[in-house]
Structures are given as C-alpha cells and as structure tokens.
Amino acid sequence: MTAAVSQHPRHPGTIEGVLPAFLAAHRLKMQMRHHDAVPRRHEPSTTSLTRSTSLPVGPLARIAVGLVTLIATPVALLVATRSAVADDPAVVAADIRREPLSPQQALAEFEILPGLRVELAASEPQVIDPVSAAFDHLGRLWVVEMNDYPTGPKEGEGFNGRIKLLVDNDGDGYFETATVFADSLVFATGIQPFRDGVIATLAGEVAYLADTTGDGVCDTREVWFTGFSKDNEQLRANHPTWTIENEIHVASGLRGGEVRSSDARWTGDDKPISLSARDFRFSPFGGDWRAVAGNSQFGYYQDDQGRNFICSNRNPCTLLLAEANQAEANPLLPLAQWRVDVMPAAEKSEVFPLVAAWTTSNLHAGQFTAACGVYRYQSDRLAPWLRDDFFACEPTGSLVQRYRLTADGIVPIAERGRAGMEFLASRDPWFRPVDLLDGPDGSMYVIDMHRAVIEHPAWMPKELRERGDMRWGDAAGRIYRIVPAEAEATTVASSTNKSRADLATDDPNRWLPALASENRWARKTAGRRIAEALHQPDGDSVAAKETSNRLIAALRERLHQSTTQDGSAASSETLIRIVWLLQSNGELQAADLKVAAASSDPAVRGQAVRLLARRLDDADSSSAAASLLRQMATDPAPSVRYQWLLELAARADESWLDSLVGLLRASRQDSATDRTWLANAVSLTAESIAPQLIRNQLAAEGNTDAASTAVVLGPLVKRMGWAGSSATLAAILEHSSADAGTTTAVGPGDEPIGTLFAEYAAGLAVRSTPWDRVAKDLPESARTRLAERLASDRLRVLDESVAMPARVAAFRRVGSDRSPETLELARRMAERQGDELYVESLQILRHFDAPEVGEQLVSRLVELPPRAATSTVAAMIGNAKWTSALLDAIESQRVPWGLIDPTSVGRLERHGDKAIADRVKKLRAGRTTEDRQALIGRYQSVLAGRADAAAGKAVFVKQCAGCHRIDNEGVVVGPDISDMRTQTPEQILLSILDPNAAIDANYYRYAVLTDDGQLLEGLLEDSSQQSVVLKMQDGLRRTIPRDQIEQLRATGVSMMPEGFENQIDPAAMRDLIAYLKRWRLLSGEIPLGQK
C-alpha cells in the first residue's frame, strides 16, 4: 500500500523539524561518547573538534548549545497534526527564527575536523540561493543561483534564476564584487567554464552562455541539446563537468529524458538519445554525444585517475565500474549492478548532525537521506592525510561527511574519518551544504543554499505545502572555504601559486607546467585551456595550426620525459591528462602509448588499455596495439586487468584465448573483492570463445587453486547457461569427478565443479530452458554425468536431514528438468505448508503441461499462509489452465473471492485471454468499486472511533505485507511506510483507497507480455538491449530476455492497486491505520521522541 510522504528536494521522504529536547541531548551525548577516535594517517591526534569561536566546547556546553539551537528551530519544519491519532504527540516549539544568522554568527556554529578552519568566501547580497559553482582560469567564481526554488515564481512573475560572476578585487579572500552574468533563467543547476563563458544546465537543456564583449554579461546564448526531463524542479540535469577525456559529463538528475541535438556541430540520426537510468556526455567541440553509465541525482565527480563517481539521496558516493555498452554483453548483470558504494549507503550509512534532523521514517533516522555534491579532495593545501579522501553533503543534517581512503584496487576502500562525528557540521539548521569544489588556492569550497526549509513541497502532506517558512532564506546564501587552521587569512592574490598567474595569461606555453601542479584546480584548468587551444574555432588558420603544433610537441616531450624537474616520476594525473589531450586532437601515436603502458602507475596503464583498445579497429595500428595489449593481460595490478577485460573480453576471438587464460592465472593472488569484480568482467567474454576459455582454464597447467577458478568463472558460466551453451556444460562435466553426482551442493567445502554446475543451472532457469534441450548435444559420457547430478539433487530435496538452503538450491538446479521424476517431486513439494520448497515448486510446476496441478493448487489455497497463498494465486494466473481452475473454484465458492488480492484481480482483468478477463469482470459485478470520493467519505465516518492497533497488524500482514515491510514483517517492493506519524488518518486512508491520486513515477506498474502468453507485472528495475528486470510482488526479481517479450508497456498506474475496500471493511481500516501509526507502541518499547 502507498502512503504520501513529505520529500526533500533531493530526497523523497524527508521532513526536518523539532524533536523533543531530550532526543537532541541524547544524540549530542552519543556524539561525545564517540569523540575518542583513534587517529589515522597522521591526522591530528586531538579528540576535540575545531571551532571558529572561543565558546566552551565541553560535553555539557555542547548539549546546552544543541538545546538552544533546537528550541530556535522553525516549528513549521515539522507539523504533527493533533487530528492524527489520539496517542500521537503534538509538537510545540518556543521561538521561531525567521531570519538567517549573520555570516559571522553562522561561522561560530561550525565544528570541523582538527587542523582545519572555516572561512567565509561569499554571502548575501553577493550570492543568494547558490546550488553550484566553478572557478574559471582567472580565479573568478561563477555561481548558479536557484532563486525560484522550490516551485518557481509567483503567478504573473518571470523566472529569477541567475548565474553570477564573483570577483575578489581587494584580494582579502572575500568575493565582494558580484555581476549578474545571466538572469531570468529557468532552474539553472550547474555550470562549466568554457572559452568566453560557461556551459550551463538549464530546465530541459544544455546551453552555452558567452560574453563576447568582455563586460562580464552574457550576450550570446546557444542551445546545444534539449529534451532533458523537466518533470520536477529538483530532479533535472545538472553538474556539467569537464572530464579527463576532454568531454562534458552531465548528471541526468534521475529523470533522464529524450535528448536531441539542436546544433549542427553534433550530428546523428533523427532519433533522440534516451537517458533512462543513464547520464549524458558530449564533446564541447562538436561531434560525439551519447548516453553513458550514471543516473546521478545531484552531483558528479571524476577523479584524476579517470574514475567516475555519482550520488543520490541515499547513496553519498557511488563508483561506476563499467560503461553501458560494456555491461550489455552480459544481460544477467544489468548496468545497475556495475557500481559500488564507496561510502556506506542507505541503511548502512550513519550521520551525526548537530541539529535535530527528523525523518518521516524511523528506518532512515541517523542516515543519509539527501546526499549530494559527491567530491574527492585531490590537492595539497589542506593536509597530506586528506588527499584522495571522499566527501558528500547532507543538507538535511547540515553537515559534510568524509571517508578516508585506506586501500585502492579495482574499488577504492574507505572508512569513516572519525567515529561519531563529521568532517564539517553546524548547529545552525539553516546551513544547507549542496555542493563542494576545488579552489585556485587548493582549498575546498562549500556551497550553502542557506534556508530554513530545504524540502520540496511536491511530496509533503497537503497541510504543509502552504507554510510561510517555505521561502525563508530567499535572500540568503553562503559559500565557505576550508583552509588549514594555522594558515593566514586567505588572500586570493598571495595564496595561489605560479600556476594561477600562468593560467590567467593567453600564452599556451605557460599553461603546460600547471599540468604537473599539486593543485587539482590548476591541473584541470590547464587541461581545459590546452584542449580549447587545440580546438580553436579558427583551427584552419595559420596561427591556430602553429599554436596547436607547438602544444602537441610540448605535450609529447613531457610525456616521453615522464619526469619532473627534480628527476622524480611524473604523476599519474599529469600523464593521463597528456595522453587524452593528444588523443582528443587525433595526435596520439604508438610511441606515446608505449610510454603510458610502461608507466609505474596502474592508473596510467589502465588508461593506456582504454586507448589501445580503440586502435584495434584501425588497420594501420591494430597489430601493434594488439601486441602491446597481449603483454598487458598479465599486468600485476588487478585494476589494469579489470580494464583490459572491460575493453576486450566481449570482442575477443580465439587469438586472445591464451591472453585470457594468462589473465585469470595472474588473478589467483588478488583480494576477494578484486576477484569478484574480475569475475564480473570475465563474464563479458564473447560467447563464441567462452566455452573454450572455461575448458582451457579448468585444464590449465599448474591450476592448483580450483576454488578460485570457480569464483572467477562463475558469472560467465551462468551467462552461458542463460545462452543454453551445450559446449559450456560439456566443459564443466568433462572435469567432473566420477562421483561428482553426489557432491553438487553449493556451500563451503563443496567441490568447485559443483559450484560451476549450479551457476550454469541458475542461468538456464532464467530463460526457462529445459535441461534436455542442452543435453541433446552433449557426448554420451557428459549426458550420463548430468543425469547422475540431477538424480542426486532430487534425492537431496527429499532428504530432511539436509539444511533447508541446500535443499532449495538443489531444487533450483533440477528446476529446468522436464522429466516425470521432477514433476512428481514438484507435486510432492506442493503439498508442503507454504515454505520455501513449496514456493519453489510453483516455479517448477508452471513448466509442465499438467492440468491436474491447477486443481491441486486450488485445493490448498484455503490452508496456506497469506504470503504463500498470494504466491500461489500469482503463479496460477501465469498458466491459462490453472487460471480456469482458480476461477471455477471461485464461482463454485470453494475459494472465497477475498482470497484473491487486488493486484491479482487487476492482472486477471487485464488477462490476454478475453474469456478469462470477461469471467473476472462478471465475478466482480456487484462488487464494483464505488466512486472514490464517496467511498472515502464512507470510511472517514468511522475513523474517529476506538481503534485496535493489534488487530490492525493482522490486517497489515494479510493485505499489505506482500509489498511493504514493518517490524520485520513483509517485503520491500513499494515505498517505506514504517513511519507515518506525520500523516493524518485521512491522508493514509486516501493513499489506500485511491492510490493513483498521487503517484511517483518510480512506482508505476509495468506490464510485460511474453511470447508464451505470460503476463508479468512489476516495477521496471532495469532495462537493456537484451533484457528487462521486473521487481515483482513479494520482492521477486524476474529477468525477461527481450527476444521473449511480445509487449512492454507502462500502465500509468501505481503498483499499489485499487480495490482494498473489498478486502478491508471500515472498522478493519481504522485498525490498520492505527497500526501504521502506532506499531512501535505494541511491544511496549517506546523509542526516543515518541512519548
């Protein structure tokens, strides 16, 4: 069931506000308890936080300050309605602060990591409602202002979004001069300096805004791309970012869009590019534009090694590990699975705000709910122990979190910088950090939108949407700078090094040294300016060619020297930028790639692999590139081998087999994490050579670590099972021991061949391919061993002494067997009382043409537990003969109509067989749903009566647990409804009885009609060229190959069905609502803040 929840602009489901004072005190006390953290990486050993004032900072003082701040928090941030439920608390606050603290007062409220200090870089009136910013080569600060947040201008007024140009003319570190570069913008979200202006993301488009006269005001606007989604103000394309490949990466904002080029410099066919679950990239110089891996919400960061990080509400820092075109080689590993959270996400995350950050779901309390502005510090000014660490903003908690790098491989490993406290936090609830960036001085800059309420009203309860405090802070905005605590007050003129002065000139030769700067802003800005010089609009002129030739020669010289002036090896950041600058201008030569491939830094070698792979299609360079790539297959660094597989596995032919086997052999000593990701990359291997690779690897001389081999080959074997590869199955069975048929369980100590056999069976089951179809092409000896294994698994399923997980695993392995023996086994398991083996039997029985099974299942329905009954009905609907048996039973009243859940009723009414759909509609005659408003009115009349929350739990388990989870009961398919204390009974009632009144697109129901007549419905979790993934009722995921889909469509209705009035009468509805609001009280344990 769905319930409307209030949402943050970058996180659905968050409301901030006033908690009871003792809860704030408790949190602050817990933070004090954690302050004795062990210092790491030579961090300052002091256990106190650095503050910007001389106020007392002992535990009692901190708690007192926290309580004062709590009382001053605007009461309108949280409205707990007295009409909700009698036992729910009403919240009353004392003073309400309607104006922001002064910048000086706000500085006093910060606590920051020891050794650092917060400085004010800009504030109102120079900057208002900033959401993103960037420094150009002159050191000027470009700022995006979203003045119309959250819902746009008032009726009759124009849009007020602006891009401002801030300058520190007196060099004191404060940007006192502001020029409006462009105004009347519609929800601008990000900028990237380029040539005479900026590339900007605006509502639905990417545009270039330029100042051609030099007066600091935009006089030229070119719209380059259109079609980005404009569905919601806070979920739009953002953060155009210059990459090491000299392209622009645009975060899609989750909602994507259908993007078209509106400028002739970017050519292509007439079809738009879909950004469904993707981000966007293009060359700023024209030509290439495409969808890429991503789908970041608000923020994007590419580090100096070329790795891409994104973020979303609950995921503060996620590393992308493959491109879309690479991941599609294995349809069983959709793109969403080629990513990893570097910082703990969702329920694993933990934040320690100094303000009372209240969430509508207790499950989210103390966690990230609005993560944005993902960032990695890669400069040298702050402290050596901060370099390469990860950061993310949490505006609802008024904090910035840091995770310190501890190890690096395919995936960087990071841990919390300090236990129980944040890198930067404020006691001022108006502090709303939304973005982080590098400065010309090597400092970290924090963009503070600064306002009382950061939530977007679109998902708030109705009574909260017109609050007066929604626009408090419309005239405020802050930008802070993080500097070393002992540093002198920053002055832009003195704190920046020679790179700053060089980059401000028009002499390209003076930009080159900045590529080797320790300051990331300098390195990145130098790369951009050089790229612009190599791609001048008048590139055919004599002067432009001379400039280009000089720069190319200088870049190549620096690459081949590969040393700095003191004789040390050039940094990976320098070499990577150089090779990509040469590549983007078409000047990268084979000798250049040899230098990169021989680098001592794995990051450089990984980029060499990327660039070498591009040359394999070039007849003039393919031979030399292939030779070098073969040498790199056994690179000592797992990250290089991983990149090798991403680039080459899917295109490899037999000539690459020895290299692949060598790569796998080199991976035996890798860490478990690295081997897991290498296994995923191995699974991309071309289908034409995969069986031979598996055979060669299993038989490889000296392959003494068979268990490791099974791990690395597992995902590939599963994919070959999905493809129905008999050759792969033969390779596995050839290496099976004579008695292997008795050792097929998967678990610790089991034989590796059994592990691979299980993987193959799992892949086979995805496409419902029967064993006999792949067995017919096996040699006789292999068929015999297959029969032995299946017979052994059938016995294991029946063996009560075997642990349930092993029995279920064995049942799944025989699930693709269509023999009478397996049919009989499945029918026996269908007699069980709704356990895991019973549910698994439903999946197996659907493959048999056995009409009598439908009657067997019908006869069990009234005996089964609720979830098992729901699963049974869902399985029966997928088989026309079983469906008829079910409807016969309902018509004869052997099965009560109320046992058919609303979701299943909806599926039946949309059944592809018209006769079945008509029968269902006839059965529903007399039960036709009333007009929604009249129905709600009838139910509302009983809400005021006395409710029984304990009885409501039973209603929840029967009617709601198939899609929602509360108190460890049920599964997670729909939204989290575990905390509805801010929802009135009327709101909850509306959500249940009229679920389509307000629906988030993330919960639209998608329908898939397969070529064998099955109608499948669920949330569209992933979509690729080869398959779609549906998340279905009861939390099940179903991967459907594209070639088995007759039709795929979005129904436009919620996964939450209508019709619950037929299952829940008004009195039971009152009990259910009471349970949803007060379920925590049933155990007698009252959490903090609920008394």
DSSP per-residue codes, 945-1012: S---HHHHHHHHHHHTTTT-EETTEE--SS---S--TTS-HHHHHHHHH-TTSS--GGGEEEEEEETT
Calpha distance 67→356 (Å, rounded): 9
Please tell me the distance from the alpha carbon of residue 923 to that of residue 941, in angstroms, as a whole number: 29
**Numbered ranges of CATH 2.30.30.100 in the chain:** 939-1083
Q: What are the two backbone dihedrals, phi and then psi, of residue 299, each rounded to the nearest 5 degrees?
A: 140, 150
pLDDT of residue 1047: 84
Tell me which residue has tokens 């606590």.
111
What's the pLDDT at 52?
Answer: 46
Q: Please identify which residue in the block is written with the tokens 């939108």.
A: 449
Query: In percent, how much of the chain has pLDDT > 70?
Result: 81
Among 995, 1000, 1037, smallest CA distance to 1016 is for: 1037
Residue 672: is its pLDDT beyond 80?
Answer: yes
**Three-class HEC string of 609-636:** HHHHHHHHHCCCCHHHHHHHHHHHCCCC
Coil/strand/helix, residue 393? strand
Amino acid 999: pLDDT: 54
Confidence check: pLDDT of 962 > 90: no
The pLDDT, as a whole number, for residue 714 is 95
pLDDT surpasses 90 at 997: no
Going by pLDDT thresholds of 50, 70 and 90, the confidence category of residue 62 is very low
> pLDDT confidence of 1023, banded at 50, 70, 90?
low
Instruction: State mean pLDDT over 263-273.
Output: 85
Report whether 860 contacts 872 (CB < 8 A).
yes
* pTM summary value: 0.80
- Residue 280's DSSP bridge partners are 250, 291
Rounded to the nearest integer, the mean pLDDT of the chain is 83
* Distance, CA of 521 to CA of 495 (rounded, Å): 14
Q: Under the phi-then-psi rule, with left for phi > 0, alpha for psi from -120 to 50, and beta for the rest, what region is 402?
A: beta
Bond preceding residue 851 cis, omega within 30 of 0 = no
Residue among 390, 366, 389 nearest 316 (CA): 390
719 touches 774 (CB < 8 A):
no
Residue that is written with structure tokens 């009861």 in the block: 1034
User: Would you state the pLDDT for residue 786?
Assistant: 96
pLDDT value for 77: 30
Which residue from 143, 77, 70, 146 is spatially nearest to 109, judged by alpha carbons?
70
Task: Determine whether domain 939-1083 maps to CATH 2.40.50.140.
Answer: no
Q: Torsion angle, CA of 629/631/637/643, rounded to 10 degrees?
A: 10
Give 360-378 as a DSSP string.
S-GGGTTS-SS-EEEEE--
Taking Cα atoms as reference points, which of 508, 444, 564, 541 lies closest to residue 116? 444
Q: What is the mean pLDDT of residues 335-343?
A: 95
What is the torsion angle, in degrees rounded to the nearest 10, for the CA atoms of residue 836, residue 837, residue 841 and residue 842?
Answer: -20
From the list 632, 300, 612, the residue with the least C-alpha distance to 437 is 300
Pick from 83-92, 558-567, 1023-1032: least confident: 83-92
Q: Using CA of residue 955, residue 957, residue 961, residue 966, what is the dihedral sign?
A: positive
Six-digit token string for 1055: 């996964």
The 3 state secondary structure assigned to 272-288 is CEECCCCEEEECCCCCC
| Cross-strand pairs, 134 | 142
pLDDT, residue 363, reads 63
For residue 138, what is the enclosing H or E element? none
Residue 82 has a pLDDT of 25
DSSP codes of every residue in 1028-1048: EEEE-GGG-EEEEEGGGEEEE
Strands 279-282 and 289-292: antiparallel
Cβ–Cβ under 8 Å, residues 962 and 969? no
Phi, psi of 511 (to 5 degrees): -80, -25
| Beta-strand pair 50-51/969-970 | unpaired
Question: CB under 8 Å to 820, separation ≥6 — which residues?
Answer: none
Question: Is residue 316 a contact partner of residue 371, using CB atoms and an 8 Å limit?
Answer: yes
Whether 1 and 992 have beta carbons less than 8 Å apart is answered as: yes
**Statement: residue 33 has pLDDT above 70:** no
pLDDT attached to residue 469: 57
Q: State residue 22's pLDDT score.
A: 32
Helices (H), 136-262: none
Separation of alpha carbons 371 and 394, rounded Å: 5
pLDDT confidence tier of residue 41, bands split at 50, 70 and 90: low
Indicate whether 73 pLDDT > 60: no
pLDDT at 428 over 80: yes
571: helix, strand or coil? coil
| More confident position, 1091 or 902 | 902
Closest by CA position to 731, among listed 767, 685, 782, 801:
782
* pLDDT, tens only, 472-496: 768 899 999 999 998 776 544 444 5
Instruction: Give the C-alpha separation, 723 to 266, whole Å.
Output: 38
Contact 376, 391 (CB under 8 A): yes
* Residue 553 pLDDT grade (very low, low, confident, very high; cuts 50, 70, 90): very high
pLDDT for res 977: 80
Q: What residues have CB less than 8 Å from 938, skipping those under 6 apart?
A: 930, 1066
Q: Which residues pair with 415 in a beta bridge?
A: 404
Which structure tokens are listed for 333? 């590993």
DSSP 3-state of 526? helix
Residue 48 has pLDDT above 50, yes or no: no
- pLDDT-derived band of residue 500, with 50, 70 and 90 as boundaries? confident
The two three-digit tokens of residue 262, written as one number: 């509106």
* Per-residue confidence band for 1079, with pLDDT thresholds at 50, 70 and 90: confident
- Torsion over CA: 645, 246, 413, 345 (sign): negative
The answer for residues whose C-beta is within 8 angstroms of residue 135's C-beta and 6 or more apart is: 141, 142, 193, 437, 438, 439, 440, 521, 525
CB 340 within 8 A of CB 348: no
Helix (H) or strand (E) holding 490: none
How far is residue 1022's CA from residue 486's CA, in Å, rounded to a whole number?
Answer: 50
Residue type for position 103 = P
Token pair 């009983």 is at which residue?
A: 942
CA distance 333 to 331: 5
Q: Which pair of tokens denotes residue 35?
A: 């302050």
Residues 249 and 302 sit within 8 Å (Cβ to Cβ):
yes
Q: Are 606 and 596 in contact (CB under 8 A)?
A: no
Q: Which of 219, 209, 224 is nearest to 136 (CA)?
A: 209
Peptide bond into 125 cis (omega under 30): yes
Work out the end-to-end distance of the chain between its first and last CA atoms, rounded to an integer number of angstroms.
27
pLDDT tens digits along 935-948: 888 888 888 788 89
Find out whether 959 and 901 touch, Cβ atoms under 8 Å: yes
Place of tokens 């009349």: 941
Closest listed residue to residue 1007, CA positions, set 914, 928, 903:
903
pLDDT at 63 over 50: no
Torsion-angle region of 155 (φ positive above 0: left; ψ -120 to 50: alpha; else: beta) = beta
Q: What is the Cβ-side half-sphere exposure of residue 581, based on CA atoms within 13 angstroms?
A: 30
Three-class secondary structure assignment of 160-208: CEEEEEEECCCCCCCCCEEEEEEEEECCCCEEEEECCEEEEEECCEEEE
